[in-house]
Amino acid sequence: MWLLILGYAAVITTAMWYIGKAEGEDLCLNYLAVILWGATIMFFIDSLFSYLKGEGFIEISAEAITLGFSLLLVALIVWLFILFIRDPKKVFHKI
């Protein structure tokens, strides 16, 4: 299930980055998209190897959903840290 959660988040983030880039906004969404796509590819390979060993491709359970949202939260925290450091809108320079 974490593969689906991260995959959906990666697709949505990529679309948001593309739309924002066309409008001239820079919220460092490219970093978040790369983090989420990297995690999605990593978990896809992990799920593929598990499937080849005889396990299920996607695990659907409460623990898998919790893990998926926990991984998404960690990716968002890393992105916020990058956003605060880069400060693309110069919010902290005004203070």
All structural domains of the chain with their residue ranges: 2-86
- Whether the Cβ atoms of residue 4 and residue 58 lie closer than 8 Å to each other: yes
26 pLDDT tier (thresholds 50, 70, 90): confident
The predicted structure's pLDDT at residue 88: 85
Give the contacts of 36 (CB within 8 A, at least 6 positions apart). 6, 9, 10, 13, 72, 75
- Whether the Cβ atoms of residue 47 and residue 58 lie closer than 8 Å to each other: yes
Q: Residues 31-87: pLDDT tens digits?
A: 999 999 999 999 999 999 999 999 888 888 999 999 999 999 999 999 999 999 998
The predicted structure's pLDDT at residue 32: 96
The predicted structure's pLDDT at residue 35: 97
The predicted structure's pLDDT at residue 95: 62
d(CA 76, CA 31): 10
Q: What is the pTM of this model?
A: 0.89
